A and B are shown apart, each in its own frame.
Chain A
Amino acid sequence: MKLLLAGMNHRSAPLDLRERLAVEDPAPALQKLVACDEVDEAVLLSTCNRVEVVVLTRNAEAARLRLRSLFRRELAGVDIGEAALDESLYLHRDTEAVRHLLRVASALDSMVVGEPQILGQTKEAYRAAVECGASGPILDRLFQRAFATAKRVRSDTRIAEGSISVARVAVGLAHQIFEDFRGKHALLVGAGEMVELSLAALRDEGIESIAVANRSAERASALAMHFGATAHGLDELPALLGAADVVLTSIGGSTPILTPSLVRTALRQRHGRPMFVIDIGVPRNADPAIDRFPEVFRYDIDDLAGVATANADDRRRELVRAEAIVAEEQQRFEGWFTALRAVPTIRHLRARVEAIRARELERALPRIPLDPAAREAVEALTRAIVNKILHAPVSRLRQEAEREEGMAYLEVARVLFGLDGPESPEPADSGGSPEES
């Protein structure tokens, strides 16, 4: 079994490509993936900075081609072209795939290193895969390890100390435009986690008023009530925009909601006062064409990357410690993953011994007059003997299988117990999860 991770992130692919690949509901893509013979398990993570798919496969080459096809044609709905794919798609296998996922969940691969949102997004991606039946025992274990790693990194290092989210970076940037936030009005479009964080950041800065506009007025109302803002529907956007000094957008949708004509109308009402537009939506919510208005300062998620780099510098020292934790947890998962090699041998061994027990019992019992209770006791006795005899070798095999050299033990066991011989009975059920063995 092999692990493959393919993806594009803020470093490998430009925003206009990432926004075409962004997936709101991963279930259909995941179900199609696991329906293929070459993919056993899959999880798809889609955030504003990355689209990544991790799969478990028994045929790595076929799975690789399948993933390329997914990124090239299926996610975007159109062919993005071989050249764009080669330039932007990265592919990690086994060790590297595990390391990459642990780093992603721990926010070490994030645009703002140490930011808190990615862990929640990873958990959400995993939950979606579980719900649609795409995740299985191996990826379950991998993602649980990733969450544990992220927790350790946050608690054992200061990587997240003073960590600022993309929203806080944007608010910091606003200080280069505005002297202070007194008398300023903010408009937040959307009601997701990013908007919630931005609300908190803006409120901390002492902004005069905040309006939240969203498709679902209910969600907007809940957020607004919590932060002392006002809630609005998207239809009120034109009226709200004229008063907004800071506009932050993070809402789903394939077409921009801040169009040049809408912004032009708003600017007329603003009499030349600047408007800072922070667009953290993927796909983008603000049309880049609004850059032509001198009063508008539009920053999308990639533009904010440059600002965030400075924050990464401040936490570079802590990165070393965080990377050490990732390496340790990676080794722990790989030990478990490698030990899975012992599963067929152990299962085979158990089946072989069980077959012998059952056969010998079948031969002996007719010759011994026993009532049903006594027969059951004898059955239990023989099972207990078999289990006790097998306990030590099976434990040792599992232990040794975690090491690369452990393969020798597996081979010796197969020879000693004649597992590869003609008399060796096949296990009744070759499927099932490794935990069952």
Chain B
Amino acid sequence: MYLAAGVAAAGGLALARPRLLRVGVGVLAGAAGLHALTFSLLHTADPTPPLTDASTAVSFMAWVGTVGFLLLLLRFRVAGLVALVAPVAFVSVFQAVLRLPHAEPAAVGSGSIPHAHVLLASAGLALLGLSGMAGALFLVEHRRLKHKRPLAARSPLPSLEALDRVNALALAVGFPLLTTGVVTGALWTQQMYGAPWTGTAHETWCLLAWAIYAVLVALRFGAQLGARRCAASAAVGFLFASFAVIGVEILT
């Protein structure tokens, strides 16, 4: 369904058909509903679902990102972002489906801290992902407008201002969530290994990603960084964070 939503949205954008885009949004909402049902079933089958598994965490991240995006749609006219959100959600869920049967239960420790870490960090990354996608689309549209190649009058693509606002809001909410995710991660490590820092590649890269976002947040909300630079930073920041969380996990 995520794939179908992506295809419908891409068609809507390519053919400048807002109705097709609305179909994409509807299918995406349906997909998010089914996705939520899957997590509920997982929870019914096992009160401690394997969220700490990287694949499942990425799938969960996709769900949070999708729900966050649907909530943003209530406030901003950014339906055109479905064309980016839906394919990313599809890839995230698809990889989880492929890997889940082979996933080995990890040593997760006890208590709520591991799950709190995964939930908070995933939600934070999901929103930062939205911020990055809005930034990427902003850059594409900005380039078109600067090069005097505007879209057709009835184009359903979001305005630069809407994308910038989504970028800012997702960053403003996503960064605190990521920060609490990092803190709970340190607590989890403390619980498991007796120290908050063990120097693994995952910890190092995640801390670097957090530091990058901290600088970005300071520049965005403190130094009045221009919209284009914010968009570029958000897009690059999300690529870096994705690598830090998922890429490093796969490589190690």
Contact = CB atoms under 8 A, between A and B. Distances in A.
Contact of B227 (A295, A299, A306, A311): A295
A243 interface: no
A306 B150 contact: yes
A179 B146 contact: no
B146 A297 contact: yes
Contacts of A297: 145-146
Contact of A272 (B146, B155, B157, B225): B225
Given A175-B159, A176-B159, A177-B159, A306 B149 contact: yes
A295 B77 CA distance: 21
Contacts, number: 54
Interface string A262-288: 000000000111100000000000000
Contacts of A273: 227
A294 interface: yes
A176 B225 contact: no
Contact of B142 (A172, A294, A306, A307): A294
Contacts of B162: 179
Given A274-B160, A306-B150, A176 B145 contact: yes
B148 A272 contact: no
A182 to B, nearest CB: 11
B141 interface: yes
A291 interface: yes
Contact of A179 (B141, B157, B161, B227): B161
Interface residues of A, number: 21
Contact of B148 (A172, A274, A306): A306
B149 A176 contact: no
A274 B152 CA distance: 20
B243 interface: no
Nearest to A299: B148
A176 B146 contact: no
A310 B152 contact: yes
B150 A176 contact: yes
Contact of A271 (B148, B150, B153, B224): B224
B152 A272 contact: no
A179 B152 contact: no
B130 to A, nearest CB: 17
Given A294-B142, A297-B146, A176 B151 contact: yes
B78 to A, nearest CB: 9
A176 B224 CA distance: 22
Contacts of A272: 224-227
Contacts of B43: none
B150 A173 contact: yes
Contacts of A291: 146
Given A176-B155, A291-B146, A294-B146, A274 B225 contact: no
A259 to B, nearest CB: 19
A218 to B, nearest CB: 36
A184 to B, nearest CB: 9
B19 interface: no
A48 to B, nearest CB: 17
A176 B160 CA distance: 6
Interface in A300-342: 303, 306-307, 310-311
B228 interface: yes
Among A176, A177, A274, max chain B CB count under 10 A is at A176
B159 A179 contact: yes
B149 A177 contact: no
Nearest to B153: A172
A368 to B, nearest CB: 85
Contacts of B229: 294
Contacts of A172: 153
Contacts of B224: 271-272
Given A176-B150, A177-B145, A310-B152, A294 B226 contact: yes
A417 interface: no
A227 interface: no
A307 B150 contact: yes
Interface string B217-235: 0000000111111000000
Nearest to B78: A179
Nearest to A305: B148
B141 A176 contact: yes
A272 to B, nearest CB: 4
Contacts of B161: 177-179, 274
Contacts of B77: 179
Interface string B11-46: 000000000000000000000000000000000000
A176 B147 CA distance: 14
A310 B224 CA distance: 37
A178 B227 contact: no
Interface in B116-162: 141-142, 145-146, 148-153, 155, 157, 159-162
B43 to A, nearest CB: 39
B174 to A, nearest CB: 21
Given A178-B161, A274-B160, A294-B228, A311 B153 contact: yes
Interface of B: 76-77, 141-142, 145-146, 148-153, 155, 157, 159-162, 165, 224-229
11 contacts: A173-B150, A177-B145, A177-B160, A179-B77, A271-B224, A272-B225, A274-B161, A294-B228, A297-B146, A303-B148, A310-B153
